[in-house]
């Protein structure tokens, strides 16, 4: 039976045109396939609905934004408060000449394919990122030599107070896996600029990206993308995170149902029965081993969110 706390939370929320659902399992909505439940998931009907929700929601209720969960580890006891997910209503992609506008709920791959179909080059790298435009804006996602900041013109976002903002790419201050404007905003739309190109070359570039990804990343595994940010610390000696992890002897390391990928050791994978706690603890073991070897702490790239499950076996 659903806990009364979750039902009564919906009663406290403002009326919306979108949809509230209580007690939603989040594990199946993430790439890792782990994690607990959301008290309430809100799928807004459109930007106005999202803004009206924020303007009227009870201030004490925490809000978490989720895309398609390709860069998050949701902890085993789930997420308190409201999880906002922009569904199909925010997934449109419109091409107008050299400009491509996409809802923040659109998959990066859909934007790549729409641009290709219109004969536009510059957005091929989006083919290699399995997230949404909103998730990509938050971290300036990038792959195979391209990143959001190279092609972004502007973005629309709604803040947690219900104000709608329009940012230029410069306002966002996009850097390596970072944006100046990220906490307290939900991105709702982005505009990109591409260039007319040769359709065959665009196809070839996208095929190369797919082949390269399949070769280098565990794309068919339950994973969360790169686990740690590549460090800029001189102690790394120019090594990337995966090289530090490799040299610290962590390739293939296991804990419970979690494993450091054999294919790419900056990826953690759920080998089938992992809990979020297994994955997070394994990540911490990797960080400790890298520290012991190189004297630097790797920084998590994956967002770890929600409540940990209560510890097992702790008596009364
Ligand atoms: C196999 C695999 C390969 C990957 N390869 C790459 C790669 O090459 N390059 C790369 O950059 N990433 C890569 N990733 C990571 C991931 O795909 C990107 O970070 C992606 O941009 C996350 O988007 P998402 O919709 O899944 O966001 P989520 O994982 O759902 O959320 C990630 C963060 O973004 C926030 N967020 C999501 N939507 C919004 C929004 N609308 N407004 C504000 N904040 C929002 C969330 O609150 C959270 O903090 C990979 C992941 C996997 C599983």
Q: Give the CATH number, domain containing residue 150.
A: 3.30.465.10
Is residue 153 assigned to a domain? Answer: yes
Lowest-confidence segment of 33-42, 145-154, 180-189 by average pLDDT: 180-189
Is residue 211 assigned to a domain? Answer: no
Burial string for 131-164 (b: 16+ CB within 10 Å, else e) reads bbbbbbbbbbbbbbebbbbbbbebbbbbebeeee
Q: How far apart are the CA of 136 and the centre of ligand 1, in A?
A: 6
CB 299 within 8 Å of CB 228: yes
> Would you state the pLDDT for residue 177?
87
> Would you state the pLDDT for residue 3?
61
Give the residue carrying structure tokens 């803040």. Answer: 159
H or E stretch covering 188:
strand 185-193
Q: Which of 204, 234, 252 is where one domain is finished?
A: 204
> Would you state the pLDDT for residue 315?
39
Examine the domain organization and report whether 98 and 57 are in the same domain. Answer: no
Among residues 156, 226, 280, 287, the one annotated as catalytic is 226
Q: What is the mean pLDDT of residues 124-152?
A: 96
177 annotated active-site: yes
Q: Which domain holds residue 16?
A: 10-88
106: left (phi over 0), alpha (psi -120 to 50) or beta: beta
Is residue 2 assigned to a domain? Answer: no
Examine the domain organization and report whether 109 and 190 are in the same domain. Answer: yes
Q: How far apart are the CA of 3 and the centre of ligand 1, in A?
A: 31
Is residue 213 assigned to a domain? Answer: no
Does the pLDDT of residue 101 top 80, yes or no?
yes
Q: What is the mean pLDDT of residues 69-83?
A: 97
Which pTM value belongs to this model? 0.95
pLDDT-based confidence at 120, cuts 50/70/90? very high
Over residues 208-263, the pLDDT tens digits come to 999 999 999 999 999 999 999 999 999 999 999 999 999 999 999 999 999 999 99
Q: What is the mean pLDDT of residues 113-138?
A: 97
Pocket of ligand 1 (CB under 6 A): 31, 65-72, 86, 104, 128-132, 134-136, 138-139, 141-143, 186-187, 217, 219, 223-225, 303
> Would you state the pLDDT for residue 314?
44
Is residue 174 assigned to a domain? Answer: yes
Among residues 33, 177, 199, 251, the one annotated as catalytic is 177
Examine the domain organization and report whether 287 and 189 are in the same domain. Answer: no
How many structural domains is the chain composed of?
A: 3
Q: Whose CA is nearest to atom 11 of ligand 1?
A: 141
Examine the domain organization and report whether 163 and 246 are in the same domain. Answer: no
Q: Which residue of 84, 111, 138 sits with most ligand 1 atoms within 8 Å of its CB, as the best mutation to test the pocket? A: 138
Examine the domain organization and report whether 113 and 82 are in the same domain. Answer: no
């Amino acid at each position: 039976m659903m806990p009364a706390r979750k039902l009564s939370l919906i009663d406290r929320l403002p009326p919306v045109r979108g949809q509230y659902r209580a007690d939603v399992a989040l594990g199946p909505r993430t790439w890792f396939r782990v994690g607990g439940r959301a008290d309430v998931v809100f799928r807004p009907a459109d930007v106005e609905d999202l803004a009206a929700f924020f303007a009227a929601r009870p201030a004490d209720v925490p809000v978490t934004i989720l895309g398609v969960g390709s860069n998050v580890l949701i902890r085993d006891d789930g997420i308190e408060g409201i999880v906002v997910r922009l569904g199909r209503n925010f997934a449109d992609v419109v091409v107008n000449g050299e400009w491509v506008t996409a809802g923040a709920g659109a998959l990066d791959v859909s934007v790549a394919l729409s641009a290709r179909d219109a004969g536009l080059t510059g957005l091929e790298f989006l083919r290699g990122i399995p997230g949404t435009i909103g998730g990509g804006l938050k971290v300036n996602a990038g792959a195979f030599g391209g990143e959001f900041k190279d092609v972004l013109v502007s973005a629309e976002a709604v803040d947690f107070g219900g104000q709608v903002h329009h940012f230029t790419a410069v306002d966002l201050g996009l850097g390596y896996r970072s944006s100046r404007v990220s906490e307290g905003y939900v991105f709702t739309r982005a505009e990109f600029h591409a260039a007319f190109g040769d359709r065959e070359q665009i196809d070839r570039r996208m095929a190369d990206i797919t082949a390269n990804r399949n070769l280098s990343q565990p794309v068919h595994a339950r994973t969360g993308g790169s686990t740690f940010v590549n460090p800029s610390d001189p102690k790394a000696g120019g090594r990337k995170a995966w090289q530090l992890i490799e040299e610290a002897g962590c390739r293939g390391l296991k804990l419970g149902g979690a494993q450091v990928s054999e294919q790419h050791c900056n990826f953690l994978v759920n080998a089938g029965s992992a809990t979020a706690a297994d994955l997070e603890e394994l990540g911490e073991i990797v960080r400790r081993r890298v520290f012991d070897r190189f004297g630097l702490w790797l920084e998590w790239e994956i967002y770890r969110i929600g409540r940990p499950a209560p510890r097992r076996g702790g008596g009364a």
